[in-house]
Amino acid sequence: MKPTTILKAGTALAVLTMPGLASAEDQAITFISCGDRVSAVHEALFPKWEEANPGYKIEVEAVGWDQCQEKATTLAAAGTPVGLAYMGSRVLKQLAQNDLIVPIPMSADEQATYFPFVVSTVTTDGQQWGVPVAFSTKSLYWNKDLFAAAGLDPEKPPATWEEEIAAAKAIKEKTGTAGFGVVAKTFDNTMHQFLHWVYTNNGTVIDADGNITFNSPENLEALTALRDITAYAEEGPTAYEQNEVRAIFLDGKLGMIHASVGAKNLLKDAPFNWGVAPLPLGPHAQGPGTLLITDSLAVFKGTGVEDKAIDFAKFLASTENQPVYEAAEGLTPLRPGPAVDKLVADDPNWKPFIDGISFGGPEPLFLDYKGLQDTMITMVQSVVTGAAEPAAALEQAAAALEEFK
Amino acid sequence: MNHSPSARAFAYLLLAPAVLYVLFIVAYPLVDTVILSFTDAALKPETNWVGWKNYQKIFKANFDDVILRTFIWTFCSVALKMTIGVLGAVLLNAAVPGQTLFRILIMPPWIIPMAIGIFMWGWMYNGQFGMISGLLQNFGLSDGPIAFLGYGKTAFWATIVTDVWIGVPFVTLYMLATIQTIPKDLYEAAWTDGAGRFYRFRRITLPMIVPSLLTMSMLSLIFTFNSFDIIWILTRGGPSGQTTTMIIDTYKSGIGSYKYGEGSARAVMICLFLSVFCLAYYRLISRLNPVEAR
């Protein structure tokens, strides 16, 4: 064979095997993943799915949390949607009712694999609009050293609101350190933290028929308890969001906080003794509760690859792949199973985060989620600053919510 | 002077790129925003004409409070920037050893990326870990931590202080440049006549820098009125809306809640106010320097 023939054949082979050229006919499924990076677990799954679905290619873009949802939503509103995006489940109703995303049918068997109420975080009008992919629940962390210094039993965390407020009071009065971390900054997690109180007292915000149920005795008790514990909280709680309150706790300057499993990991090297327990319960609680926050993969309308995008989303969050992702990212498991049993057996501190799911509640699904959020934040801030009484603030907020549902 | 038609056409041809640029970058978005403000544009695909409804709605929602707050915030910030800036310029103009070093030292607030500077102030205002609260406690001026961003009044002033910190270097340098153009012989003559420092400042420096002072004030007013980053990073308009200015309110409505129609109505209101400021600025320039304004 002549050298020129070998050269031509080699060039042809190289050109044909170039990834870009070989996949020139592939249909792209664009995927916005929230965060500074794409999860290594997910990245490893892309080629597997592409192999099983020839002719389709995943094009992923990592977008920081601050802009992620806005970017995906704005692109869709502008008529140039991405295939799928990682979204807070709270916005699904807004996207669905504006005809920007497609429903994601979930069989009864599929739904049954999840913990109770998880599917409800992505359900509106009887349909599912996202594939849950990340889950967060909250528990009570307490500083055992501060409990001991205040004359409290350091091994006995408060189990009720009454005990929680009494413990916060004792810590504040006997040690001079704030007893509880109240979150009340103009930030989304101010609403989340208030919902911990709502869901540990059998409260609700909106019912399945879309009626606002916020102005209830259960929620009034919740708001009153939050007001009462603020007297023993850090100074100026409207200056602090959740992570800032957690930082104060990590610094040993707070007796108790409500936080996610992430705090457990940060507390590993804490210079004080600490424990984690289920969120204390209100007088109307029926069992351990917590706010259930999920993030989902939402599939946008108008890309022409919706079915494949749904398939890809379900593949990422399948019973095989999801536990690997959760373990890598330190997330609360979405589904019960042997992996969860092992998790709790290996680290009993996981238990309260799982137990709270039984009577937990979702982030309420509203048509105008930001409107809901701002209303809740205004209500909480007015109460913790003493500008309004809980009953009046609750009534005003409930009335305002009608506009956003 | 008379020009031939071809010469005039050539002149318009040369101007065309600039005109097209302005039409595309300024006029089109502006007109589109005004049109949007009369619609219910949101996330939904269809958009309906709603007349003045958006304007009626924003004024029902305590928008007048937001406008008043914006004016107070802007006025306080500009007044402080101008006062500190002029004093700084006078001091930096003084013939003292290390004059150049002092001039360099005022630059950091202007050089540091704005977001970083604002985050730094956010930490300084933190009640638990912040420097200001810590110093006050160490000097016995406070019994416990003070969360400056946790109360409406302190948060309002904290955002102003940060805006002043960022804005003062520019004002100082501008005014310093102006002061340096004042003829030295005026000061020498006054000094010979026995005029003191304050008298020389009051009777020579101040009258000579008035045109620049007014120009700078107007420009600063326009920049400050639209200041978004500082308030958004420090307080997001809270607590309880006490630091919500018009631009924050517009962002929350238009971008945060995807109510493009309502957000546009708010943006148009801002535009109207800024137009008044710009008109005032133009008239001022016309009076101070008719040639420049022409």
Instruction: Read off the pLDDT of residues A256-308 as tens digits, 9 standing for 90 and up.
Output: 999 999 898 899 889 999 999 999 999 999 888 899 989 999 999 999 999 99
Which CATH number goes with the domain that contains B106? 1.10.3720.10
Q: Please report whether residue B29 resides in a domain.
A: no
Residue A256's closest CA among A343, A172, A327? Answer: A172
Q: Is B6 or A213 the better-scoring residue by pLDDT?
A: A213
pLDDT digits (tens, 9 = 90+) for A88-143: 898 898 899 889 999 999 999 999 999 888 998 899 888 999 999 998 899 999 99
Residue A169's closest CA among A194, A201, A146? Answer: A146
At A59, is the secondary structure helix, strand, or coil?
Answer: strand
Q: Please report whether residue B70 resides in a domain.
A: no
pLDDT digits (tens, 9 = 90+) for A217-256: 999 999 999 999 999 999 999 999 999 999 999 999 999 9
Contacts of B142 in chain A (CB under 8 A): none
**Mean pLDDT for the stretch of residues A383-388:** 94
Residue A315 pLDDT exceeds 90: yes
Q: From CA A311, how far away is CA A45, in angstroms rounded?
A: 13
Residue B241 touches chain A, beta carbons under 8 Å: yes
Residue of chain A whose Cα is closest to the Cα of B243: A186
Question: What residues make up the domain containing B117?
Answer: 87-209
* Residue B127 to residue A239, Cβ atoms within 8 A: yes
Q: What is the ipTM of this complex?
A: 0.78
Give the pLDDT confidence score for residue A404 in this predicted structure: 87
Across the interface, which of B144, B145, B240 has its CB nearest the CB of A385? B240
**Mean pLDDT for the stretch of residues A172-194:** 94
Contacts of B263 in chain A (CB under 8 A): none
Q: Please report whether residue B57 resides in a domain.
A: no
Mean pLDDT, chain A, whole residue set: 89
Residue B250 touches chain A, beta carbons under 8 Å: no
Q: Please report whether residue B107 resides in a domain.
A: yes
Number of domains in chain B: 1
**Mean pLDDT for the stretch of residues B39-64:** 87
For residue A140, give the H/E element and its range.
Answer: strand A139-143
Q: From CA B36, how far away is CA B31, in angstroms rounded?
A: 9
**Mean pLDDT for the stretch of residues B46-56:** 90
pTM of the predicted structure, to 2 decimals: 0.83
Q: Please report whether residue B271 resides in a domain.
A: no
Residue B39 pLDDT exceeds 90: yes
The dihedral built from the CA positions of residue B286, B289, B290 and B291, taken in this order, carries a sign that is negative
pLDDT digits (tens, 9 = 90+) for A362-382: 888 888 888 899 999 999 999
In this prediction, what percent of chain B has a pLDDT beyond 70? 97
Q: Please report whether residue B225 resides in a domain.
A: no
Residue A236 touches chain B, beta carbons under 8 Å: yes
| Domains delineated in chain A | 16-136+293-350 (3.40.190.10), 139-289+366-401 (3.40.190.10)
Residue B171 pLDDT exceeds 70: yes
Check residue B258 and report its DSSP letter. Answer: -
Instruction: Please answer whether residues A206 and A366 qualify as being in contact, where contact means their C-beta atoms are separated by less than 8 angstroms.
Output: yes
Residue A15 CB contacts under 8 Å (≥ 6 apart), including other chains:
A21
Q: Please report whether residue B146 resides in a domain.
A: yes
Residue A73 touches chain B, beta carbons under 8 Å: yes
Instruction: Please answer whether residues A125 and A206 qualify as being in contact, where contact means their C-beta atoms are separated by less than 8 angstroms.
Output: no
